[in-house]
Amino acid sequence: MYMILVGGGNVGAQLAKRLIAREHEVLLMEKDSRQAQRLASMLGENSIYVGDGCEIQTQRDAGFGRADVVVAVTGEDEDNLVVCQMAKTVWNVNRVLARVNDPSHEALFQSIGVNQTISATGIIYSLLDQQISSDDLIPVGALQRGSIEVVEAVLSNRSPVIGLAVRDLKLPPQTNIVWLIRDDQGHIVDGTTALQEGDTLVAVVPQVHAGALREILHPEF
Amino acid sequence: MNILIFGCGRTGAALALGLSTDHQVTIIEQNPEALRRLGQRHKCKVVIGSGLDEDILVRAGIKEADVFIAVTRGDNTNLMAAQIAQLSYGVKRICVRVADPYRADAYRNLGFFCITPSLILAGMMTDWIDEKPYQTADAYNVIKNEVQI
């Protein structure tokens, strides 16, 4: 697959490195020539294009016309928007992805036909929000742009679930306790697992139900 | 009419001062320093901030705007602001300054009214040299030769 990435900052560089390692044909576009030189020494001359990915002539030279995927990862939403819009409307690129810095811009990106938007601010915010609203549920990962979370919870002696089997918990929808750490040992959890004080649970929970999960494990006293 | 202008550069300021005698003009500008171009006595409402920020747009009255004009120095900034105005707030008349003629062309095909100052300037100067009458903006606003500008 031919993938074009626009924007050679940290995100673009790391992404390019991983995609090249997976043996995709990758071209990373960067308009600052000194930054492009640094990237070339890291990723190889052939993977770097020095030029403004927002310009049609540059896009033609870079081969937007035969790209399977275009990813816009500059630090500016307006630049990412124009790259994506050109990729879709001028070059008919099949899959177009954008990094969106201001989460309130995501709807605009989706309405112009961008296939996927990724908002780091939005993901970090929702994790942070989770952290602030609860000391008991610790976010360890996010899936589906933050709408599904992987969380960790340590059961204190006040938790009402101690002594109960997992299948007897009234867990929120689409929520699963998948793993448990007890005495520094990891255990796979099934319905019969009985919970003990000090257990660290790892659960997958839709973000909207995280509060309900917290209520079950650690209701406010 | 309610006219919203994003960008208080030379163009934005001249436009705002000219229009504000007959219309309600609001100008959005990120850099307070740029507002000096409006002078001491003007009738425009001023909102400091980015026209890509929906809170700022609402404060500037985009919900009541009849016309939205994006004239910052950034082509992409102008194009994005124009699309927020159109898609999120349904502003009917939108004008975008786009310095890159090819980018302007692509967005004209998407239905946006884009003005490319360099083409208008070059066109008018050509007509002046040839001693021909000046034409309409649309006549100048197209790329005549496949050159790199």
Tally Cβ neighbours within 10 Å of residue B101.
20
Q: Are residues B111 and B121 in the same domain?
A: no
Q: Cβ of A56 and B74 within 8 Å?
A: no
Closest CA to A83 of A4, A189, A159: A4
For chain A, domains (ranges, CATH) are: 2-118 (3.40.50.720), 137-217 (3.30.70.1450)
Tally Cβ neighbours within 10 Å of residue A41.
9
Q: Are residues B47 and B102 in the same domain?
A: yes
The pLDDT of residue A12 is 95
**Using a CB-CB distance cutoff of 8 angstroms, which residues of chain A are in contact with residue B148?**
57
Among candidates B87, B106, B148 on the partner chain, residue whose Cβ is nearest the Cβ of A86: B106
SS3 label, residue A21 = helix
The pLDDT of residue A120 is 81
The pLDDT of residue A143 is 81
The pLDDT of residue A221 is 44
**Using a CB-CB distance cutoff of 8 angstroms, which residues of chain A are in contact with residue B84?**
108
Q: Are residues B94 and B58 in the same domain?
A: yes
Burial of A46 (0-12, 13-18, 19+ CB in 10 A): exposed
The number of CA neighbours under 13 Å toward the Cβ of B63 is 5
| Distance from C-alpha of B107 to C-alpha of A10, rounded to nearest angstrom | 30
Q: Which residues span the domain enclosing B133?
A: 117-149
Please tell me what DSSP assigns to residue A121: H
Alpha-helix runs per DSSP H in chain A:
10-21, 33-43, 56-62, 77-89, 106-111, 120-133, 210-217
The pLDDT of residue B146 is 60
Number of structural domains found in chain B: 2
pLDDT tens by residue, chain A, 221 residues? 999 999 999 999 999 999 999 999 999 999 999 999 999 999 999 999 999 999 999 999 999 999 999 999 999 999 999 999 999 999 999 999 999 999 899 999 999 999 989 888 777 777 776 666 555 677 787 787 778 889 888 888 888 899 999 999 999 999 999 999 998 899 999 999 999 988 999 999 998 998 889 888 876 54
**A-B contacts (CB, under 8 Å):** 52
Report the residue of A82, A90, A110, A111 to disrupt the B interface, i.e. the one with the largest count of B CBs within 10 Å. A82
Q: Cβ of B88 and A107 within 8 Å?
A: yes
Among candidates B80, B102, B106 on the partner chain, residue whose Cβ is nearest the Cβ of A78: B80
SS3 label, residue B12 = helix
Tally Cβ neighbours within 10 Å of residue A19.
20
**Using a CB-CB distance cutoff of 8 angstroms, which residues of chain B are in contact with residue A107?**
88
Q: Are residues B43 and B90 in the same domain?
A: yes
SS3 label, residue B67 = strand
The neighbouring-strand residues paired with A202 are: A152, A179
Segments of chain B with pLDDT less than 50: none
Global ipTM: 0.87
Q: Are residues B31 and B82 in the same domain?
A: yes
Rounded to 5°, angle at Cα B44 from B38 and B49: 80
Q: Are residues B107 and B126 in the same domain?
A: no
| Distance from C-alpha of B30 to C-alpha of B32, rounded to nearest angstrom | 6
DSSP E strand boundaries for A73-192: 95-99, 116-118, 137-143, 148-154, 176-182, 185-188
Tell me whether B84 touches chain A (CB under 8 Å).
Answer: yes
Q: Are residues B123 and B103 in the same domain?
A: no
Q: Cβ of A82 and B74 within 8 Å?
A: no
Q: Are residues B96 and B126 in the same domain?
A: no
Residues contacting residue A202 through CB under 8 Å, at least 6 positions apart: A140, A150, A151, A152, A177, A178, A179, A180, A181
The torsion angles phi and psi of B59, rounded to 5 degrees, stand at -60, -30
Q: Are residues B132 and B105 in the same domain?
A: no
The neighbouring-strand residues paired with B48 are: B29
Q: Are residues B121 and B102 in the same domain?
A: no
The tokens for A39 are 């990237």
User: Model-level pTM greater than 0.80?
Assistant: no
Q: Are residues B91 and B133 in the same domain?
A: no
Nearest Cα of chain B lies from the Cα of A71 at a distance, in angstroms, of: 17
Write the CA distances from A4 to A8, A28, A51, A114, integer angstroms.
11, 6, 13, 15
**Using a CB-CB distance cutoff of 8 angstroms, which residues of chain A are in contact with residue B100?**
54-55
Residues in chain A whose Cβ is within 8 Å of chain B: 54-57, 76-79, 81-82, 85-86, 89-90, 102, 104-105, 107-108, 111-112
Chain CA centroid to CA A213, Å: 22
**Using a CB-CB distance cutoff of 8 angstroms, which residues of chain A are in contact with residue B77?**
78
CATH of the domain at B59: 3.40.50.720
Among candidates B54, B74, B80 on the partner chain, residue whose Cβ is nearest the Cβ of A104: B54
Burial of B25 (0-12, 13-18, 19+ CB in 10 A): buried
Q: Are residues B57 and B123 in the same domain?
A: no
